[in-house]
Structure 1
Amino acid sequence: MSLPTLQQQAEALRTGRVTARDLVETALTRTSDPAGEGVRVFTRVYAERARAQAQASDWLLGAGLARSLLEGLPVSIKDLFDVAGETTLAGSVVLRDAEPAKAHALVVQRLIAAGAVIVGRTNMTEFAYSGLGLNPHYGTPRNPWDRATGRIPGGSTSGGAVSVTDGMAVAAIGSDTGGSVRIPSALCGLTGFKPSARRVPMDGVLPLSAQLDSIGPLAASVACCAALDAILSGEQNADLPAPASLRHLRLALPLTLVREGMDADVAAAFDASVRALSAAGAQVEEIALPEFAQLATLNAQGGFTAAEAWAWHRPHIARAPERYDPRVISRIRRGAALSAADWLDLMAARKAWVAGVEQRIAGYDALLMPTTPVIAPPIAALEASDELYGATNLLMLRNSTLINFLDGCALSLPCHCAGDAPVGLMLAGANGADRRILSIGLAIEARLHKTAT
């Protein structure tokens, strides 16, 4: 799958080969195609608003006054970002009677100010509480790979990923609490970036876990993600990172946990990528990270996500528990058993855990691991079995959630060969290493693309 980048689309707009209205009409046509995934991808489409935004962008482009690289480009937003005058549902039905938002979420404001055309809100796992992407209320978008079988898109930013793969948007904005940007990016063949949590403000975003939530883009390339991150973080005028040199780059490959249970597709693609990077001069070194094996025990009671989700959802569960996805409410209810002392203990344990991990990786430029250990499984089997759903969800989230607990930053890059099942390569760093990770990601992306071609 080869998708146009933001940079390519912006150049086509600048030179007049296409108009913003053309791009938006194409996107809207795909959202409404009865043979396509649009009905499962979007919970709301802003057709007339998008056309008006596109017309304004065409006027500005014609006058040479583009506000940013995003000027006139169709972008989708996850259904947990506030839009003024609308109720934010977060993939649920329980909030249909809630008060409408009084203002746009800050990230939505920044996108609009940069000239992005918001085509609609995208479907998601209810309240962002799963890495699989299934939604019993609005349907589950099918992964672009092996669509005949009907495989999961990954979650929780399920609709966002498919909006990009199917040409309904050139980029999507999602949230990532345990991998919800990176998992769908990996399973659908996209690039996704999870920034350090406080890099992008959460104002006007329905929370899952205040300790772990972050906001990031899903798009066609690392350069796309870097440009979007600059806008989302308010650093639009800063120079975008340049590609790092792979030669003598020190990349740490954890021996602990992250390669356990890999299927044949992931193992083949990941191992080939590591060989390609080593051949290009990068020093890939295996290291023990025993802290990774400890995280499941630290989160055995549900962790920050269950505790903080329970605190937020208590009144809604008391009012209408039957309107929740049973597989979501069961996980939220785990938080009811956590006391304030448990939460404080977890805060202290996290601080020690982060310090231990950061000490072990201090001499390395980045961590390298598979984003998910398996490719996208079929939807039908997961819908049919609670046991399989639970086990698969834990497996999908396992590697990516390590970086949320670290409060680090991470990219997921496609590393499979054309025509094969999508596989993601995750490149991660400690808190605040965002621009360095993007810089290294640009270099790795170029090397993997060269190898694949």
Structure 2
Amino acid sequence: MKDGTITATATALRNGELTAKELVRRCLEAIRRHDGTLNAVLHISDTALEDAEHCDAEAARGDFRGPLHGIPLIVKDNIDVRGLPTTAASALFAKASPATSDAVAVARLRAAGAILIGKANMDELAAHVSGRTSFFGPTVNPWHPERRLSPGGSSSGTAAAVAAGFCCGGLGTDTGGSVRLPAGWCGLCGIRPTHGQVDVSGVYPRAASLDTVGALARSVRDAELLLRTIADPLLRDALRAPSRPCSRLGVFPDLVDEKATPEVAAAYTDAIARWRELGASCVPVELPLLDDPDMVESIGIIRSYEFARDIRKDVEGNPLAGHIHSTPWADYEKGRTLPEESYLAARRHMATLARENIFAKLNVDGLLLPVAFSTAPPLDAPQEAFTAGRALVNLFSLTGVPTLVIPGNLTETGLPTGMQLVGPTLGERGLFDAGIAYEDAFGPFPLPVL
């Protein structure tokens, strides 16, 4: 289980080499042994073993519901799972009743045969990227947990649980980096799909015009399988279509050398060399929009304004509001005081950026960048470390284009360095094909040892 991908585990289940019940028991035992340290899991399904027995009975009859039949997955706790509460790791919902229905993405996982073993911890109300703001306590990165490093956020618990072997994969949400950064800092594959191509019904909002459901997994093939399962029809069709290979990649060696830590810069240099070894043309390019102050201001305004607008009904007059962590509370207060004119201007700027075909302008098929300029900082690092963590993902949240995170080399200090492949709208097929080629050549990627 520790090194098992979804695809390998599914094959073992179909061949009768493993039962779903045995697999779920291993997951629950791993949670029991290690989650006291990591704090990645908030709720465990009471029916997980029963669900596994049902999957095994179906398998014995040769009846497999889909490609995820018997596969245990975890879901971020801002996504509804029938029978489990949705708390968004917030004081506001700490005593929430179990959800009576699944979010659309979760229903699609169940229809494909997945077993939902639990709900994952997260930054409160999905309003940070550290993993430290949960009402239920911080999540610890499973790489060298004694160092108490950030797993990234806000999908902190999903990433930590997948990396630690508590499950085979999971769902997160991404507004401003909340799948991509945890994937990078926990050594996982992660996918933020083209915006609007996964139904977000049943997901508690962070910033509706930026929110999307994404997947975290141990391999590129697993990430593709999860996305294909939860995707809306247009994206599903795009994933079935022949790909346009990512054979010409825009790279940013000068920017990374200037701003990244030496270990991330070295890992990026190595990643470029590996892509060239695979036959890709890596072309140095410049993209001033990456750190354009107006772009950064626009995404901040949209996040805060929509956050305050959409959660106000749950905050105003609620005696538990005083228990909200200071970080999401500050974002809520900022959003409450923003003029509508500023928000509308930011939305217009977002629309302008989304219309720009940066790939055509740069004459590339995709972009290759580190996920962040540093490896995972300590959980108690200054806020600036987490603001900087979003520097290389902000633009692609605004443009809505897909991003695939692939693990890079471990540094000399034993930490993963995630690399992101960014492609054009509905370009997931090309990203996955490139990522699978990279994975076949240079994987499997290491996982932490607990």
Residue 332 of structure 2 corresponds to which residue in structure 1? 332
- Structure 2, unaligned stretches of length 5 or more? none
1:272 alignment partner, SS class: helix
Which amino acid is the alignment partner of residue 384 of structure 2? A
Residue 388 of structure 2 corresponds to which residue in structure 1? 395
Change (3 A) 1:391 1:112: same
Percent of matched pairs sharing the same residue? 28
1:42 aligns with 2:41: yes
Change (3 A) 1:301 1:15: closer
2:390 alignment partner, SS class: helix
Distance 1:275 1:205 in 2: 40
Alignment of 1:137-156 (within 5 A): 137-156=135-154
Change (3 A) 1:61 1:32: same
- 8 Å Cα contact 2:289/2:295 also seen in 1: no
Residue 421 of structure 2 corresponds to which residue in structure 1? 427
Which amino acid is the alignment partner of residue 157 of structure 1? S
1:199 alignment partner, SS class: coil
Distance 2:60 2:149 in 1: 43
The alpha carbon displacement at 1:38 in A equals 6.9
CA-to-aligned-CA distance 1:125-173 (integer Å, 9 cap, x gap): 0011111111352222221222221211111111101111221100011
Which amino acid is the alignment partner of residue 396 of structure 1? G
Residue 8 of structure 2 corresponds to which residue in structure 1? 8
Change (3 A) 1:282 1:81: same
Distance 1:448 1:361 in 2: 31
Residue 133 of structure 1 corresponds to which residue in structure 2? 131
Residue 404 of structure 1 corresponds to which residue in structure 2? 397
- 8 Å Cα contact 2:243/2:429 also seen in 1: no
Pairwise CA RMSD: 2.7
- 8 Å Cα contact 1:307/1:343 also seen in 2: yes
Comparing 11-20 with 334-343, greater Cα deviation is found at 334-343
Which amino acid is the alignment partner of residue 129 of structure 1? A
Change (3 A) 1:148 1:90: same
Residue 323 of structure 1 corresponds to which residue in structure 2? 323
CA-to-aligned-CA distance 1:266-316 (integer Å, 9 cap, x gap): 111111010121233211111121222325555268321101001022244
Comparing 342-351 with 410-419, greater Cα deviation is found at 410-419
Change (3 A) 1:175 1:184: same
CA-to-aligned-CA distance 1:190-223 (integer Å, 9 cap, x gap): 1001101211100010010111111111111110
Alignment of 1:113-192 (within 5 A): 113-192=111-190
Which amino acid is the alignment partner of residue 393 of structure 1? F
2:91 alignment partner, SS class: coil
2:215 alignment partner, SS class: strand
Comparing 129-138 with 9-18, greater Cα deviation is found at 129-138
CA-to-aligned-CA distance 1:233-284 (integer Å, 9 cap, x gap): 15698796699797x8100114786665211221111110101212332111
Distance 2:161 2:184 in 1: 15
Distance 1:79 1:73 in 2: 19
Residue 354 of structure 1 corresponds to which residue in structure 2? 354
CA-to-aligned-CA distance 1:327-372 (integer Å, 9 cap, x gap): 1111221112222222221121122223345365563111110011
- 8 Å Cα contact 1:81/1:204 also seen in 2: yes
Which amino acid is the alignment partner of residue 305 of structure 1? R
The alpha carbon displacement at 1:400 in A equals 1.6
Distance 2:445 2:221 in 1: 19
2:434 aligns with one of 413, 416, 440 = 440
2:260 aligns with one of 259, 262, 268 = 262
Distance 1:134 1:84 in 2: 27
- 8 Å Cα contact 2:194/2:425 also seen in 1: yes
2:218 aligns with one of 213, 217, 220 = 220
Distance 1:357 1:286 in 2: 18
Residue 343 of structure 2 corresponds to which residue in structure 1? 343
Comparing 81-90 with 20-29, greater Cα deviation is found at 81-90
Change (3 A) 1:87 1:211: same
1:192 alignment partner, SS class: strand
Alignment of 1:77-88 (within 5 A): 77-84=75-82, 86-88=84-86
- 8 Å Cα contact 1:207/1:213 also seen in 2: yes
Residue 290 of structure 2 corresponds to which residue in structure 1? 292
Distance 2:373 2:286 in 1: 18
Distance 1:17 1:351 in 2: 51
TM-score scaled by length of structure 2: 0.91
Distance 1:450 1:3 in 2: 9
Comparing 83-92 with 366-375, greater Cα deviation is found at 83-92
TM-score scaled by length of structure 1: 0.90
Q: How many residues align?
A: 442
- 8 Å Cα contact 2:263/2:411 also seen in 1: no
Residue 385 of structure 1 corresponds to which residue in structure 2? none
Change (3 A) 1:21 1:140: same
1:3 alignment partner, SS class: coil
Distance 2:134 2:78 in 1: 17
Change (3 A) 1:376 1:253: same
- 8 Å Cα contact 1:174/1:215 also seen in 2: yes
1:197 alignment partner, SS class: coil
Comparing 98-107 with 119-128, greater Cα deviation is found at 98-107
Distance 2:266 2:255 in 1: 18
- 8 Å Cα contact 1:182/1:412 also seen in 2: yes
Distance 2:386 2:355 in 1: 28
2:147 alignment partner, SS class: coil
Which amino acid is the alignment partner of residue 352 of structure 2? A
- 8 Å Cα contact 1:277/1:447 also seen in 2: no
The alpha carbon displacement at 1:107 in A equals 0.9
Change (3 A) 1:295 1:13: farther
